[in-house]
Amino acid sequence: MKTIVKRLPKVELHLHLDGSVRISTVAELLNISYEEAYLQMVCDKNTHSLTDYLMKFDLPIKVMQTKENLKRVTKELLEDLKKEHVIYVELRFAPSLHTKEGLSQKQVVEAIVEEIREEEGITCNLILCCLRNHLENEKNFETVEVAKSFLNHGVVALDLAGDESKYPTQLFQKLFEKARELGVPYTIHAGEASSYHSILEALRFGAVRIGHGIATIENQGLMNTLKEDKILLEVCPQSNVDTDIVTEKKKHPIKQLFSNVPISINTDNRTVSNITLTEEYEDLMKLFDFTIDDIKTCNLNAIKSSFLNEQEKEKLKKQIEEEYYDATYRS
Ligand SMILES: [Zn+2]
């Protein structure tokens, strides 16, 4: 089973670059031991909340301050994704976090766009994250402008990330009004560390997808709305365990969500959560009896709700259909 799952073509829509940097790279660039880097970058029994979880990003962000390093970590992540046959990824990061050594947000995005263009064997587009802790919001408005200037040239959307438990979605209304005015689409992290009201807020702002959205489970009416309006939840099961939103993986409501609303499966942060997409799929098959066909449905959902154009979607859909057929009937 392991090899079959690894060989299946995969689409990942919710993946943070800074949470998915190779530990060995950070150790090398900061001249510290692998063990030390591991300790500071990967969740453990002392990680009990989204706030604790977010501290695991400090080291990678420290090294992601030059064009050279930004390109390197992007290239390495794309190489890792290709090893498990991820064919399309929407990769996200907050450009404002990478300006500590003089790069502008625009230069940060430029460097990463250059890198994703060069990589063959995988298609990658970028989602730029605004941050909840920028209460003065100036940096966020700049991120929106930068997203607009690269829109459909490597960047496809915006996001709002950060500590939802401390900075509620409603504080960012103006930001999304601006994005809407400029015609930049967005997904919003919501209903992860907050109740379903946060998701309602995100929908009111015009989000076309929801990051996590696990709190949807609290409200049948909301589940119906998401289904009718075809709003996808970017579900990241292991991440929800690591932030203590669910106490153990087998208690995750993913099966119920899958039966009620369109979802896609994601890792969120491969390094912080120490997981691959293959392992996420295997866990779902083991713990919740997901079939290969269910996994295929999640991938087709992902393509439908991706920020690609119709022609690109059609091409990926064809590849998914063919290769899942081969995996199911010819092996
Ligand atoms: Zn996330």
Which tens digits make up the pLDDT trace of 236-255? Answer: 999 999 999 999 999 999 99
pLDDT score of 165: 81
pLDDT score of 330: 67
Provide the pLDDT confidence category of residue 136 given band limits of 50, 70 and 90: low
Angle, CA of 57, 295 and 48, to the nearest 5°: 30
pLDDT(331) > 80:
no
Angle, CA of 319, 212 and 225, to the nearest 5°: 85
Q: Which residue has the higher pLDDT, 48 or 108?
A: 108
pLDDT(148) > 60:
yes
Q: If you measure from the C-alpha of residue 161 to the centroid of ligand 1, how many angstroms do you get, rounded to a whole number?
A: 7
pLDDT score of 2: 60
Contact predicate 93/128, CB 8 Å: yes
Q: What is the pLDDT of residues 19-42, one digit of tens each?
A: 999 999 999 999 999 999 999 999
Provide the pLDDT confidence category of residue 161 given band limits of 50, 70 and 90: very high
pLDDT score of 50: 81
Residue type, 205: F
Question: Of residues 192, 201, 234, 280, which has the active-site annotation?
Answer: 192
Looking at residues 77-91, what average pLDDT do you find? 98
83: tokens are 């090893």
Q: If you measure from the C-alpha of residue 190 to the centroid of ligand 1, how many angstroms do you get, rounded to a whole number?
A: 10
* The 155-161 sheet, strands edge to edge: 10-16, 86-93, 123-131, 155-161
pLDDT(177) > 60:
yes
- Alpha carbon 59 to its chain centroid, in Å, reads 19
pLDDT(118) > 80:
yes
Provide the pLDDT confidence category of residue 169 given band limits of 50, 70 and 90: confident
Q: If you measure from the C-alpha of residue 192 to the centroid of ligand 1, how many angstroms do you get, rounded to a whole number?
A: 9
Q: State the number of CA atoms in the 13 A half-sphere of 100 facing the CB.
A: 11
Nearest to 296 by CA among 321, 277, 278, 275: 321
Among residues of the chain, what percentage have pLDDT more than 70? 98
Give the separation between CA 129 and CA 165, rounded to whole angstroms: 17
Q: If you measure from the C-alpha of residue 212 to the centroid of ligand 1, how many angstroms do you get, rounded to a whole number?
A: 7
79 is catalytic: no
Nearest to 282 by CA among 4, 78, 33: 4
Give the separation between CA 22 and CA 35, rounded to whole angstroms: 13
pLDDT score of 134: 66
Give the separation between CA 220 and CA 186, rounded to whole angstroms: 24
Domain 2-329: give its CATH superfamily. Answer: Metal-dependent hydrolases (3.20.20.140)
Looking at residues 123-145, what average pLDDT do you find? 91
Looking at residues 131-145, what average pLDDT do you find? 88
Q: Which residue has the higher pLDDT, 146 or 134?
A: 146
Q: If you measure from the C-alpha of residue 188 to the centroid of ligand 1, how many angstroms do you get, rounded to a whole number?
A: 9
